[in-house]
A and B are shown apart, each in its own frame.
Chain A
Amino acid sequence: MNGLPLLPAIIVDIFGSAANIVFSFLAWRYALLLVKRQPDNFVWGYLHYVTFAIAAFAISRAVGHLVKQFLMIGGRADIWLEISPYSGGFNTLFMISVAAVMIFYHKGVQAYELLEHEAGKLKNANKNLAAAANQLRDLNQNLEHKVLERTEELSQSEKKFRHLFSASKDMVFFSDNAGRLVDMNDSGFEMLGYDEGAKELCLTDLFAGPGQAEIYNSMLGRDGYIKDLNLEFTRRDGTAISVLLSATAIFGEGGEMLGSEAIAKDLTKVKTMLEQLGASEKMASVGQMAAGVAHEINTPLGIILGYSQLLMDDFPEGSEQHESLQVIERQTKASRKIVADLLKFSRQSGSSRQLISMNEVLADVVAVTEHTLGLSHINVQLDVDRELPMICGDPEKLRQVFVNLINNAHHAMQDTGGRLYLQSSRDKDGRWILIKVRDTGCGISEGNQARIFDPFFTTKPVGQGTGLGLSVSYGIIHEHGGRIEVESPAPDPDPGMAAGTIFQITLPVRSAQELDTICRGDGMNFSGADFAGGHSG
C-alpha cells in the first residue's frame, strides 16, 4: 500500500465524500421545496423520501469515509479498524432504507394508481348520482307542474259543469238508489215552488201519479236511460205541472244501480201556448169556412130579398100576398144579419180605423146599456184611467165587443142582480191598454170556458142568442192586434158577492208612425149595407 502514492485518492475520497453530503442535501432540499409547493403530489412526496434516505445514506457513507481518511492521516488506523464495522453496518442499514424506499415506490405507485382509480370511480359514481339527483329534481318539478295543471283543468271542468247545473233553467237533479234527491238545482226548487233546499225530497214526492217512481226506476234499470218522458210533477202546493223528463241511470263498478241523474223541462207554458195556438187555428179555420159559406149564401140571399121587395110593389099593402112577402123580406133580412155577423167574425168585412179613446167607447156602451141593466138590478161601475193613450181601431166594432160582453154579463146576473165593473188601465211600459169587464154572476164552468169563443156556442135558450157574440168579439179584438181572455171564477171577489167572471181585453198602443199607416183609410167615403160601421165620412 505504501508503494503507490495514495494522496490523490485520499483527496478525491475526502472531497468526493463532502460533495456527496452537499449534493444529497441539496437534492433533499429541492425535493422538500417541491413537496411544500405541491403537498398532494405523490411523486414529489416519494422523491422527498428517496432524497432523504439518500441524504442519510450519504452522511453515513461520506462521514464514514472522512473519519477513515482523517484517522488514517492521523495514524490512528486502529480506531478505524474498531469502528469500521459500525460504519459498514450503518451504510448497509441506510442502503437498505434506500432500497426499501425504492421498492415502496413501485407499490406506492400501484397503491396510488389504485387510489386514483377508486377515486375516479367514486367521482364517476358521484357524477352519476348528481345527474340522477338532477333528473329526479326535474321530474319532481315537472310532476308538481303537472299536478297543478291537472288540478286547474279539473277545477275549470268542475266550474263549467257546476255552472251548467246551477244556471240551467230546467230542473236538474241527482237521486240515490233509495229515491232521495241528493242534489237539485235552484230552477228545480223554483219549478216545484219550494224555497231552496227547504225540504229533503224523494222521487215519490216528485211524481204526481201513483207508482210513477217505480216506473221511473224500472225503466232506468232496464234501459239505463229515459228520454223525453211526458209526465206530471207535484208542486209543493199540490198542483201538478206537466214536464218532459230525461234521465240516465248511474251504475257502480259492479253494475249495480247507484241512482240517477235527470233533467226535467216545465211544459206548462208550452202546453198553454199550444192550446192557444190550437184555439186560434180553430178560430181561423172556422172563420174561413164560415166566411166561405157566408159569401156563397150572400148572393142568393140578396136576390131573394130583392125579388121579394120587387114583388111587394105588385101587391097592394094589406093584401095577403103583400104580407107574405113581408115575412119573406123579414126572414131574409134576419138571415142577412147572421151572415153579416159571420163575416165580421171572419174579419173579412170592411173596417175603418181611426184614433179612438177606449174610455169614450166604454162610456158610450155604458150609456146605452145602463138602463136595461138597472132594470135587472145590476149596478154598473166604470173606472177609467184618465191618462189612457188613444188607440187605433174601429169604434163601432169595439163598441160591439163591449155590448156583447155586457149582454153576457147581464144574462149571467139577470135573476140575481149584481155588479158590473168596467175598468181601463195600461201596462207599465205604456204599450198595451187593458180593459176588464167583470160581473158577479154565475160564472162560466171550466168545460165551457174552452168553448165560449167557438162560433154558435151558446148557453142561452134557443132563439135568445146566435152563439156568435163572443166569437165575433174574439175576431174583432184579434183584428185589432189584441187579446181577449176569460177568467172564471174571478179572483178576489167582493164580500158577499159571487165571484163571477172577468173578461180581460188587451189592445196594443201604436206609435204615431204606425197610426198613420193603419189609419189612412179613415177618410174613406165608402159604405154598404153591412158596412155602416166602416162608414165614417
Chain B
Amino acid sequence: MAEILVLDDVFDAAVLVGKILTRKGHTVHTFTEEQDAIDFFMENTVDLVILDIRLKKMTGLDVLALFKAHSPGVRVIMLTGYPTEETAIHAKSLGADEYCVKPIDRDELLEKAEKVLAGVR
C-alpha cells in the first residue's frame, strides 16, 4: 500500500479524501497548510500527492513544482474546483499525472489513484 499526501485548504475536503483512501488500506497524511505539507514531504517518502490548486498562500502548481524538483518520480493528481485550460496545461508541463475537477466522486477518485499508483510500480 502507498504513502499518500493530501493537501487541500478545506479541512473537511482533505479529511474526506483521506478517509476514502485510508479505507483502501493506504496511509494518508492530510494537510491544510502548505508549509506543513512541504516539510513533511521533504522528510518522508511519499508515493502519491493529491493537490488542490487553490491553497491559502501558494498555488497547488507552486507546490507541484517544488515536489517535482525534490523528487521527480513522485506521482501527482491535481484536484481543483476551478479548472481552466491554462492551469491544466501548466500542471501537465510540470509533470502532473492527472487533473481532476471537484467535486470528485469516490469511485472516480479511487480509480484515478489506483491508475496513477500502478504507473509507479
Contact = CB atoms under 8 A, between A and B. Distances in A.
Given A303-B16, A529-B103, A529-B105, A298 B98 contact: no
Nearest to A307: B16
A530 interface: yes
Contacts of A306: 13, 16-17, 19-20, 103-104, 106
B92 interface: yes
B83 interface: yes
Contacts of B82: 295, 348
Interface stretch (A14-22, A102-110, A416-424, A520-528): A520-528
A336 B16 contact: no
A529 B101 contact: yes
A342 to B, nearest CB: 13
B10 interface: yes
A521 B88 contact: yes
Interface in A266-315: 295, 298-299, 301-303, 305-307, 309-310, 313
Interface in A347-390: 348-351
Contacts of B85: 350-351, 521
B92 A524 contact: yes
B43 interface: no
Interface in B75-105: 81-85, 88-89, 91-92, 98-105
B108 interface: yes
B17 to A, nearest CB: 8
B82 to A, nearest CB: 6
B92 A529 contact: no
A513 to B, nearest CB: 19
A521 B15 CA distance: 33
A349 B106 contact: no
A531 interface: yes
Nearest to B80: A528
A309 B104 contact: no
B101 A349 contact: yes
Interface size class of A (residues with CB under 8 A): 20 to 34
A528 B10 contact: no
A349 B84 CA distance: 6
Contacts of A298: 81, 102-103
A327 to B, nearest CB: 17
A531 B100 CA distance: 8
A410 B104 CA distance: 34
B89 A531 contact: no
A521 B89 contact: yes
Given A350-B85, A521-B85, A524-B92, A336 B98 contact: no
A313 B89 contact: no
B100 A528 contact: yes
B101 to A, nearest CB: 3
A299 B101 contact: no
A305 B105 CA distance: 7
A476 to B, nearest CB: 15
B83 A528 contact: yes
Nearest to A523: B92
A4 to B, nearest CB: 169
A310 B105 contact: no
B101 A530 contact: yes
B24 to A, nearest CB: 11
B84 A350 contact: yes
A309 B20 CA distance: 9
B6 to A, nearest CB: 12
B16 A299 contact: no
A299 B81 contact: yes
B12 interface: yes
Contacts of A309: 105-106
B121 interface: no
A348 B82 CA distance: 8
B72 to A, nearest CB: 19
21 contacts: A298-B103, A299-B13, A302-B103, A303-B12, A306-B17, A306-B19, A306-B106, A309-B106, A310-B16, A310-B106, A313-B23, A348-B84, A349-B101, A350-B101, A521-B88, A526-B92, A526-B98, A529-B100, A529-B104, A530-B101, A531-B101
Which 10 pairs from chain A and chain B are nearest by CB? A302-B103, A528-B101, A526-B99, A306-B16, A309-B106, A528-B100, A298-B81, A350-B83, A303-B12, A302-B102
Given A350-B84, A530-B101, 17 more contacts: A295-B82, A305-B103, A306-B16, A306-B17, A306-B19, A306-B103, A307-B16, A310-B16, A310-B20, A521-B85, A521-B88, A524-B89, A526-B92, A527-B98, A528-B83, A528-B100, A531-B100
